[in-house]
Each structure stands twice: as C-alpha cells, then as structure tokens.
C-alpha cells in the first residue's frame, strides 16, 4: 500500500478508515440483531396466521372457502383448494425455517407433505387434507427480511457526517503545523518575519513561542554581525586614509604605484562592506511615490554625461511607490556591472497587471548557468572576474539582491540568447 504524500491526507485516511470500520461493526451488529428480531417476529406471525387461516377454512362450508382465499393471502404465502403443483419431496436434513414454523403451527392436527417447486422463483408447497376430505395447498415463497427504504439514506448521511468530522479534526490538528511550515518557508534573515499567533492548545502555543524566539535570535545574530562588519569597515577607512597620505609623500617609483593600487582596492572593498551592512537596515528609508520615467531618465542622463553608453527603452509612465535611494543603488550596481564587463548597458521597462519589471541588459560574456544564484551571495565572484583590475569585490550584486528583497521585489539573473546577461528587477 502506498501512503499519501501529505500528513493531512494520511491522518484523514487513518481517522476516516477507523471511524468507518467502527461504525461498520456497530451497524453490522445492529443490523444482525434487527434481522434476528424481525425474523423471529415474522415466523411467530406466520405460525399464528397459518394456524388461524387453516382453522377458518376447515370450519367453513366448502362452497364458501373460495371467497375467503383472497382475505387469507399474504405477501409470501397463499392458499389453493387443490392438489397444488407436482414437485420434488423436500429433504428433511435442512428444511426452510418457514417450513419448521408451519409444522409447529398445524403439524399436530394435520398430516403435512412438503414439496419443492423448481423454477425461476423457487418455492415450496405444503399439502394437507381438511376434515371433510378436501385438499388444501399452502404455497410459500420465502423472502428475505425487508429493509426499510430510509435505512440506506440514513447510512449515507452518517458516512457524510463521519467524513465532515474527520475533515474538521484533521484541519484543526494540521492547521498550526501548516502555519508553522509556512512561517519557516517565509523565514528570511534579510527582513523581519511575521510573528506566529501564540494562542491555542498548549503544544501549539509552545511551538509558536519557540519559533518566534528562534526568529528573534536569528535576527539579533545577523544584526550583530552586520554591525560588526559596518564597524570594522568604517574603522578601517581612517588607517587606510593615513596610509594613502604617507604613500603620497614617497618618492615616485614602482613600489609607490603598487602600494597606492593596493590601498585603493582596500578602500573600495571597505566602502562596499559598509554599503552592504547598511543595506541590511533599509527600513529606515520611508517609501514614497516617484515618477518612474523621470527617475530612470535622471539615472541614464547621469551616466551619459560621464560618457558611459547607457540607453533606456520601454514605457515607464506612471507612479511607483518604492524606496527611491535603495532602487537607485540597485540600478547603479547593476548598470556598473554591465559597463564593467560589456562596456555598455540597456534599461528596459515594462508594466503589466500591477507589476513593474526593470531589466538591465548587456552584451558581455554572461555568467555560467550554475553560478547565476551563487553570484548573488556576498563576496562571491565568478572565476573569470577575480582579477583585482576589474575592481570586483563580490558585493555589488549581493547589495542589489539585499536591497531588492527589502523593497519587496525580486532580482533574477539570466543569460541572454546570443550572449550577455539580463538582470531583472520585479516590483509590485
């Protein structure tokens, strides 16, 4: 047997199967008891009715007996004033219960002969002779104990109630676990999570309290790490600046150039570290409505004024509620990345069903498919970009990813057909 995949379906299957088996056993016992009671009552009525009917026919004049036959007829047996049909002698080893009841009713007063009548509707006949010598045949068609018409309907209603109760019980039991799993799925160290409701049964309350405490500890731990990174990066700027001042007074030469280059790289890395740490605290910037077209035009014109090949395509008319400084930093990082590896960049904007998509396209070498997600992690650089001359620190895309998530958006990278990279920002 193959179990269902979900816990809810497994619990529902166990509960419903157990309830149906228990109910089926109870219903079977009740049905059997009802069957025994009904059969005993039917046989008792048969004995009394046959004894009375035969006594009436025996005492009536022969001319009046035929008129009484319809009155004495029942659903499962009737009377004939003849020798009946020819059949086979009924074996005495296992006679029908109706035959035994007839023997009890009139067997002491009359000589009875039982014959089985074969055919599509098998039945048996009882032959006897009345006091005046006239023959009488009792034709019996055995039938099962009748079942009330309302009984199947009640059975279906009860099964439906069992199914409903099972569903409610499983939903009540699985609900807290489902909310917990959703909270775990939505747990994001980069933004504050939703607190679980700490009400309900003791076990559910304990799990919610534990999860909320865990979420708070993770947030505090990450905040502490970011504060440490920001503090170290900030404090390093002062000695680096002093070192650069000392290098400036050195005699010209190869060693001076090397030291200056290394200090510049360290300074750039420290600034990126500070920027990454600050990106963890974007919530200090309040959202506001901006004209997206004017905002993007300002960014593109700044690049064009500096001689960079940056173009914008697509209709960006309309207002967008976002954090403008964070969005500008994201776009600057993506455009700088495109200019660094391709020499030019294109911005494409599209809007559909309340979703704004901004794509930064380039014609550079792209990124291997298996590293598209890795490059969004801090300090990760593609192998081909590890040369310090490119200025890569592995934090540009990580900062863009961090800020985009903090704005409630999504940043995805993909390789373009024909070469190049597409960085898409999706904002709602």
Sheet holding 135-140, edge to edge: 77-80, 135-140, 123-129, 113-117, 88-89
HSE, side-chain direction, 13 A CA sphere, residue 118: 3
CATH number at residue 348: 3.30.565.10
Residues 107, 352: Cα–Cα separation, whole Å: 94
- What is each CA distance from 357 to 4, 184, 293, 410, 411, in whole angstroms? 40, 28, 13, 10, 10
Domain C-terminal end among 88, 109, 140:
140
Does 304 score more than 70 pLDDT? yes
Confidence band of 146 (pLDDT split at 50, 70, 90):
low
Q: What is the total count of domains within the chain? A: 2
Distance of CA 101 to the CA centre of its chain: 62
Lowest mean pLDDT among 87-101, 120-134, 274-288, 293-307: 274-288
Name which residue leads in pLDDT, 56 or 242.
56
Pairing of strands 421-427, 135-140: unpaired
pLDDT tens-place string over residues 163-206: 888 888 887 777 777 777 777 776 665 556 677 777 777 777 77
Q: pLDDT class for 52, splitting at 50, 70, 90?
A: very high
16-29: per-residue pLDDT in tens? 888 888 878 887 88
Please give the C-alpha separations between residue 170 and each of 20, 176, 307, 371, in angstroms, as whole numbers.
16, 11, 65, 43
Is residue 162 situated within a structural domain? no
Residue 198 lies in a domain: no
Asked whether residue 313 is domain-assigned, the answer is yes
What are the tens digits of pLDDT across the range 316-350?
A: 677 888 888 888 888 888 888 888 888 888 888 88
The CATH number of residue 99's host domain is 3.30.450
Q: Is residue 184 part of a domain?
A: no
Burial, 37: exposed, middle or buried (Cβ in 10 Å; 0-12, 13-18, 19+)?
A: exposed
pLDDT for res 387: 44
d(CA 266, CA 264): 5
Q: Which among 140, 167, 182 is the end of a domain?
A: 140
86: which DSSP letter? -
**Last residue of a domain, which of 105, 140, 175?**
140
Cα distance between residue 188 and residue 43, in whole Å: 77
377 φ, ψ (degrees, to nearest 5) = -85, 150
Residue 38 within a domain: yes
Which stretches of 97-136 are DSSP H helices? 97-106
Residue 391 has pLDDT above 60, yes or no: no
Phi, psi of 7, deg, nearest 5: -65, -35
Burial 58-71 (b: 16+ CB within 10 A, else e): beeeeeebeeeeee
Domain span at 301: 283-427
| Residue 222 or residue 287, greater confidence | 287
DSSP states of 249-302: TSPSSHHHHHHHHHHHHHHHHHHHHHHHHHHTTGGGSPPEEEEHHHHHHHHHHH
Mean pLDDT of 201-214: 79
Domain membership flag for residue 136: yes
Strand partners, 114: 126
Residue 73 lies inside a defined structural domain of this protein? yes
- Averaged pLDDT for residues 389-404: 70
Considering the domain boundaries, does residue 391 fall inside one? Answer: yes
Beta-sheet strands, E only, within 8-143: 77-80, 88-89, 113-117, 123-129, 135-140
The pLDDT-based confidence of 386 (bands split at 50, 70, 90) is very low
Which candidate, 153, 150, 156, 102, places its Cα nearest to that of 126?
102
Dist. CA 372–CA 414, nearest whole Å: 7
Give start and end residues of each alpha helix (H) in 92-149. 97-106
pLDDT per position as a tens digit, 59-116: 999 899 999 999 999 888 899 998 888 888 888 777 888 888 888 888 888 898 888 8
What is this structure's pTM?
A: 0.46
Using CA atoms, how far apart are residues 268 and 287, in angstroms rounded to an integer? Answer: 29
What pLDDT, on the 0 to 100 scale, is given for residue 285?
A: 66
How far is Cα 46 from Cα 40, in angstroms, rounded to an integer? Answer: 10
220 class by beta-carbon count within 10 Å (0-12 exposed, 13-18 middle, 19+ buried): exposed
8 Å CB contact between 182 and 193:
no
């Amino acid at each position: 047997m193959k179990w269902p995949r979900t816990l809810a379906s497994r619990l529902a299957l166990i509960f419903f199967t157990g309830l149906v088996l228990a109910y089926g056993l109870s219903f079977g016992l009740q049905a059997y008891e009802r069957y025994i009671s009904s059969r005993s009552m039917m046989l008792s009525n048969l004995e009394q009715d046959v004894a009375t009917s035969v006594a009436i026919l025996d005492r009536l004049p022969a001319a009046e007996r035929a008129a009484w036959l319809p009155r004495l007829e029942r659903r499962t047996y009737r009377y004939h004033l003849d020798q009946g049909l020819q059949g086979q002698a009924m074996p005495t080893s296992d006679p029908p219960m109706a035959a035994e009841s007839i023997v009890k009713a009139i067997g002491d007063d009359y000589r009875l002969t039982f014959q089985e009548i074969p055919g599509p509707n098998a039945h048996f006949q009882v032959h006897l002779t009345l006091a005046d010598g006239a023959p009488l045949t009792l034709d019996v068609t055995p039938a099962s104990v009748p079942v009330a018409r309302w009984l199947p309907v009640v059975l279906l209603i009860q099964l439906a109630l069992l199914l409903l109760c099972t569903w409610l019980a499983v939903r009540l039991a699985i609900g807290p676990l489902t909310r917990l799993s959703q909270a775990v799925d939505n747990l994001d160290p980069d933004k504050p999570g939703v607190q679980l409701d700490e009400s309900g049964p003791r076990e559910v309350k304990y799990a919610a309290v534990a999860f909320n405490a865990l979420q708070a500890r993770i947030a505090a731990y990450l905040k502490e790490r970011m504060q440490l990174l920001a503090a170290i990066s900030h404090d390093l700027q002062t000695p680096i600046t002093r070192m650069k001042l000392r290098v400036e007074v050195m005699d010209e030469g190869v060693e001076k150039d090397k030291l200056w280059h290394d200090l510049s790289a360290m300074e750039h890395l420290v600034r990126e570290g500070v920027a990454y740490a600050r990106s963890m605290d974007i919530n200090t910037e309040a959202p506001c409505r901006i004209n997206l077209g004017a905002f993007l035009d300002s960014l593109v014109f700044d690049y064009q004024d500096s001689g960079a090949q940056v173009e914008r395509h697509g209709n960006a008319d309309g207002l967008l509620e976002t954090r403008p400084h964070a969005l500008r930093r994201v776009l600057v990082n993506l455009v700088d990345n495109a200019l660094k590896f391709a020499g030019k960049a294109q911005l494409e904007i599209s809007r559909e069903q309340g979703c704004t998509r901004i794509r930064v396209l380039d014609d550079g070498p792209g990124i291997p498919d298996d590293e598209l997600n890795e490059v969004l992690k801090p300090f990760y650089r593609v192998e081909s970009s590890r040369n310090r001359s490119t200025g890569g620190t592995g934090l540009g895309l990580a900062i863009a990813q961090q800020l985009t998530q903090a704005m409630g958006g999504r940043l995805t990278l993909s390789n373009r057909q024909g070469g190049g990279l597409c960085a898409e920002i999706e904002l709602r």
